[in-house]
Amino acid sequence: MNEIDERLYEYQQLAGNDDLQSEARKEELLKWFDEHQSPELHEKGRKWMDERLSELEADVEDIKREALRQQLSDEAYKLIPWNGFAVAGMRSLIAGITIYISMRLMGYHYVLNRRTLIAGFFSGCTYLCFTVANKLTTSANAIVLQFTSPIFIIICSALFFGKKPRRQDLAVVLATLFGISLFFFDQLKPGYLLGNFVAIAAGMFMAGMYVAVGEIEEEERFSGILNGQALTFLVGLPFFIATKPL
């Protein structure tokens, strides 16, 4: 790797950082690029930009497909004439069996300890709240409000881990809060309002789930998710029996 490649790679690695040291280094690199312009540098820079644009286009397509899949999935919740807790329970029964089979195929053993129990609690609460929210509010509201989880992750990181939020983190929080306010002003009907609050609770529990599974081993992570599916099934089972949807 020659000097041009090394500096382009370094700039690429710093592209997402906005701390003072990184910004100063990026300014130095840009100044170096200006002082050492050459056909080789222009060609490498153009190739690097083309690669980034291709990656961005692929990411956009992935987001579109995921949004469509999520929308179809969530609309299906409303078509099932069951209690929300019963839907969540049966959904987790299927998901739990699938996860268990996957663990066996990958050679993972089930682990039961404090970490997997905590992860299971937050996971199960996330599944329950999100499914019930889809019954009480619009699917769009449930999806967007659930993904307020980064706000709660930032808050938890600052309160419990002493991590100071970066400027872009604060910008994301402000933008998300603004978007949430638009949803609430547009959907002030009592039923929708309750569903919106349940969806926000799903976001809070999702933040706890991310924090709980972030630093544990893969085997424990799968076990925690399996615990969450089991908890959701056990909570939903009485509702399934009481409402007798089948």
Which carries the bigger pLDDT value, residue 239 or residue 157? 239
Percentage above 90 pLDDT, the chain: 23
Percentage above 70 pLDDT, the chain: 72
Candidates 205, 26, 55; CA nearest to 130 is: 205
Q: Average pLDDT, whole number, for the chain? A: 78
CA dist 34 to 14, 30, 31, 96, 243, Å? Answer: 18, 6, 5, 57, 71
Under 8 Å between Cβ of 219 and 119: no
Q: Is pLDDT of 50 > 60?
A: yes
Which carries the bigger pLDDT value, residue 131 or residue 16? 131
pLDDT for 139-194, tens place per residue? Answer: 777 777 777 787 888 877 777 666 777 777 777 777 777 776 666 665 545 557 78
The tokens for 121 are 């609690």
Q: Is pLDDT of 2 > 70?
A: no
According to the model, what pLDDT value does residue 227 have?
95
Token pair 């701390």: residue: 19
Q: Which residues touch 42 (CB under 8 Å, ≥6 apart)?
A: none
**How many Cα atoms are found within 13 Å in the side-chain-facing hemisphere of 203?**
24
Q: How far apart are CA 89 and CA 91, in angstroms?
A: 5
Q: Is pLDDT of 25 > 80?
A: no
Cα 211–76–63 angle (5° rounding)? 55
Candidates 73, 120, 113; CA nearest to 229 is: 120
Q: How far apart are CA 89 and CA 232, in angstroms?
A: 5
Token pair 């690695």: residue: 13
| pTM of the predicted model as reported, rounded to 2 decimal places | 0.66
